[in-house]
Structure 1
Amino acid sequence: MIDDDGGSGLLDVLGNRNRRRIIKLLREKPCYVTEISERLTLNPKAVVDHLQYMERAEFLSSRKDARRRKYYYLVRDISIDIKVADAPGMLLNNVPSYHDKFINSVVNLRSLLNTRNRYIETLEYLEGDIDAAIDDLVHASKDILAGETEINLITALCNSDLSIPEIHRITDVPVSHIECAMKRLEGMGIVTRHGQKYSVRETNGK
């Protein structure tokens, strides 16, 4: 039950489709930022903003595991019951139009759910490919990257170009460590800098 003081926060959370998707995902298990970003195909920066908003609203909390990755989990789930009452004095001749509208709604919902299921099947294959690619990265980086921190930084940069503060928000790696790692990776030609943003250097050297 949400009281009056929390009503506006609840509406703000439920009124945003991606926040609803994040909540649905966190019902399954606690997740960290890059995992949410990959499974929902959302920009990591947007994921962080949504998570921080819902954490301030006390719907979520976070903890760090042994590898210092920050996991988010639900502390207050949301369940809404909707009751529809018959309108007093509803005329019988209105029933056919309501019936047609209902049938159209069912057909539309079924079509959307079928489309979503097809996307989910595709995403499941992609998630498997992403996991395999990360494993390949870990094995290929043994003689190149200096440990798990740099692997996490490269993984984050594979998702989007990021500044050091943005990398810190996503990975929770201390800023000083990120700065040292970025300087080393840039010197090795693995990442490149454009203003405040860093990106993974492509194979053609761009």
Structure 2
Amino acid sequence: MLDPIELLDILGNENRRRILQLLSFRPFYFNEMAKRLDVGPKAVIDHLEMLERAGLVECYQEQGRRKYFRIARRTVLEVAVSPHSYGVRAYLSEDAPKDDSGFEEAEASLDLKMLKDELLGLEKKRYELRELLAQIESREMEIKQRASSVAGFRAENQLESEIMTALLCGGANSSELATRLEVPEAVVLDSLNKLKERSAVHLRGQQWSI
């Protein structure tokens, strides 16, 4: 016989509820659950032993391999609270009271509401992400414009300014800069060396950088 008070105590722990939620998708072995839930293996084993004693989960082993855990049976725990009464009961789905024909419908409605709330939450995060991306792009444009202006002060001609602007987004070799600016590499290399003499750019190996 199921003890509803004991089940309430067991389900009062968040990690045990998370384990049951995880097992509702498919069987898991304990180390896999520990990684998924970011909980220590010893704690997961303790929780599983308690859930197993309560008859909520069971373990099995496939051909001598690791032990897997799964939901043992469909268990229903009901709590009824009103201004003048309080009641708790637990039963297996096959032992469901005859007058509880609407339970599955109510459970489905609850699942649908949870899914809807999760979708709304994801949509909110997507909107926040778009806003953040727009702010990043705007700030990036401001920085590039300011950096380009500062680079212009250190450059003695248009090509040097374009070279320094191109290097703002990261190092490059002379060949890459020549291709990007559509200027002969020899001309680009000459400008780079002049900028280097004025300490406007630096050369590390084959890479030029600001």
- Bin for the TM-score computed over the shorter chain: 0.3 to 0.5
**Higher relative contact order, structure no. (Cα contacts within 8 Å, ≥ 6 residues apart):** 1
Identify, as 1 or 2, the structure richer in strand: 2
What is the TM-score when the length of structure 2 is the normalising length?
A: 0.42
